């Protein structure tokens, strides 16, 4: 069975995901640059260097298992050095590998990844051949989180061998026919999953006309094929909530600057801090979300940025519990949208997504407030099921504040109002 991924009758109970080439961009350009360096020094073609390097890499790869396992940080420079020596040039394989190692820590994210992952309704498990520390660093850089992470280094074997797939099945507690593996490599991902009797979604990002092996193989040009297994449709440019992360530094600075240019007060107190110590701000936000190192009088809160195509559209803050002050003004959820993106439905989407996170915290009723002179925000709250309560007076501004309660036991589709 092989075909384009339309709406599927098979509904997986968990999703296993390759990382590089599936969720983030593959390192192909870095590999081509390294082999071209060797080719230029040797006076030969890059493809010729590529054949020698690949043959040595695959030889080492095939031998790596159990006690003989080597991580990619050893296989890559060793195989590259063999290619360098073959052509008799004075280059250092370790030095030439550094650009690739640096890339693994901060690879570009695929444009559809955040939106697709945000809508995945079942547990997810990374199954990656890249070394553990690199995968986790890239996850942190992009603010991505998963229920489980399986790497070749932890299993001491590479895909398509069964060890990594078997460990992923053990972690999710399911049989092979109950999960879906998603990956871009026809040999390592598709071949390995099919050998385990596992349905697989092949991300044919490069438009290969190669035929996959026989089995439950579905095909998609990108990750937007995954939501069809859950009766969903997600476009490549759909927005998604992302936790604060270093990958979005420039996008966030641009977001903050737009408020300043518009003469609005949002973020002005932290603008210079973001420019001076963005990494420190990210650490502080992570601590605040976990309830660590809280300033006096503040409750734990989680912040998310609404992102589309690498641009921050809005921000939402979720407070984990209420104080007397927050009952008057602030509530569980606060949000704002950048001036150029207002009246496009982003606030309604953000609040709906935030309310699902609030519900996941075990909170049954969420309080959301807005100034009485902000009817647009009131409409956003009511579209998400907000029921008016008594008004209050803001201790900070003296202005009237509208208060709305939202029953989170009601499903979102029934809660929403047009």
Domain end among 230, 260, 282 = 230
In a domain, 320, yes or no: yes
331 is a domain residue: yes
Instruction: Kindly state whether residues 154 and 94 are assigned to the same domain.
Output: no
Do residues 34 and 154 both lie within one domain? Answer: no
Find out whether 19 and 107 touch, Cβ atoms under 8 Å: no
Does residue 403 share a domain with residue 307? yes
Residues 273 and 356 in one domain: yes
Q: pLDDT digit string (tens) for 150-204?
A: 999 999 999 999 999 999 999 999 999 999 999 999 999 999 999 999 999 999 9
Indicate whether 127 and 75 sit together in one domain.
no
pTM above 0.85?
yes
Assign 383 a pLDDT band (cuts: 50, 70, 90).
Answer: very high
Question: Could you tell me the CATH number of the domain that includes residue 198?
Answer: 3.40.50.1000
Question: Which domain-ending residue is among 50, 85, 105?
Answer: 105
| Residue 225, domain member (yes or no) | yes
Q: Assess whether 178 and 121 both reside in one domain.
A: yes
Average pLDDT in the chain: 94
Per-residue pLDDT band at 3 (split at 50, 70, 90): low
- What is the domain count for the chain? 3
Residue 235 within any structural domain of the chain: no
118 lies in the same domain as 95? no
> What integer is the mean pLDDT of 20-26?
97
Lowest mean pLDDT among 153-157, 216-220, 301-305: 216-220
Please report which confidence band the pLDDT of residue 418 belongs to, taking 50, 70 and 90 as the band edges.
very low
Q: Are residues 264 and 224 in the same domain?
A: no
Query: Residue 7 pLDDT more than 80?
Result: no
What pLDDT is attached to residue 107?
Answer: 96
218 assigned to some structural domain:
yes
Tell whether 397 and 274 lie within a shared domain: yes
Q: pLDDT band at 237, cuts 50/70/90?
A: confident
Q: Is the pLDDT of residue 314 over 70?
A: yes
> Average pLDDT for residues 216-230, to the nearest whole number?
94
Q: What is the pLDDT of residues 390-401, one digit of tens each?
A: 999 998 889 999
- Are residue 314 and residue 264 in the same domain, yes or no? yes
Q: Are residues 364 and 258 in the same domain?
A: yes
CATH number at residue 377: 3.40.630.30
Tell which of 230, 258, 285 closes a domain: 230
**Same domain for 332 and 373?**
yes
Most confident of 60-69, 92-101, 391-400: 92-101
Domain that holds residue 180: 2-26+107-230
pLDDT at residue 64 tops 70: yes
**Residue 351 within any structural domain of the chain:** yes
């Amino acid at each position: 069975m092989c075909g384009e991924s339309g709406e599927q009758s098979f509904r997986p109970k968990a999703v296993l995901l390759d990382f590089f080439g599936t969720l983030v961009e593959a390192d192909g350009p870095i590999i081509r640059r390294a082999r071209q360096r060797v080719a230029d020094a040797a006076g030969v073609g890059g493809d010729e260097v590529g054949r020698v390097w690949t043959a040595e890499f695959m030889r080492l790869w095939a031998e790596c298992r159990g006690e003989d396992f080597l991580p990619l940080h050893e296989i890559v420079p060793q195989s590259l050095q063999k290619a360098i020596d073959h052509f008799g040039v004075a280059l250092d394989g370790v030095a030439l590998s550094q650009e690739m190692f640096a890339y693994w820590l901060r690879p570009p994210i695929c444009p559809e990844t955040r939106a697709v992952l945000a809508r995945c309704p079942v547990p997810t498990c990374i199954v990656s051949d890249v070394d553990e520390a690199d995968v986790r660093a890239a996850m942190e850089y992009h603010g991505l989180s998963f229920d489980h992470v399986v790497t070749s280094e932890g299993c001491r074997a590479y895909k398509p061998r069964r060890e990594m797939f078997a460990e992923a099945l053990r972690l999710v507690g399911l049989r092979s026919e109950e999960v879906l593996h998603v990956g871009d490599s026809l040999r390592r991902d598709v071949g390995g999953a099919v050998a385990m009797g596992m349905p697989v979604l092949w991300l044919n990002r490069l438009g290969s006309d190669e035929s996959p092996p026989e089995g439950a193989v579905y095909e998609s040009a990108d990750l937007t094929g995954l939501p069809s297994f859950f009766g969903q449709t997600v476009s490549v440019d759909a927005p998604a909530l992302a936790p604060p992360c270093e990958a979005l530094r420039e996008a966030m600075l641009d977001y903050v600057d737009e408020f300043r240019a518009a003469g609005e007060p949002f973020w002005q107190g932290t603008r210079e801090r973001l420019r001076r110590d963005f990494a420190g701000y990210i650490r502080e936000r992570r601590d605040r979300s976990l309830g660590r190192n809280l300033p006096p009088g503040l409750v734990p809160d989680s912040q998310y940025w609404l992102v589309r195509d690498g641009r921050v559209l809005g921000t939402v803050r979720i407070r984990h519990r209420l104080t007397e002050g927050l009952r008057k003004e602030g509530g569980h959820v606060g949000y704002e949208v950048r001036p150029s993106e207002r009246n496009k439905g982003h606030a309604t989407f953000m609040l709906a997504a935030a309310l699902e996170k609030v519900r996941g915290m075990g909170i049954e009723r969420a309080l959301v407030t807005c100034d009485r002179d902000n009817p647009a925000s009131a409409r956003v709250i009511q579209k998400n099921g907000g029921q008016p309560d008594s008004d209050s007076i803001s201790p900070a501004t003296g202005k009237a504040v509208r208060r709305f309660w939202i029953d989170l036991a009601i499903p979102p589709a029934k809660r929403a109002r047009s």
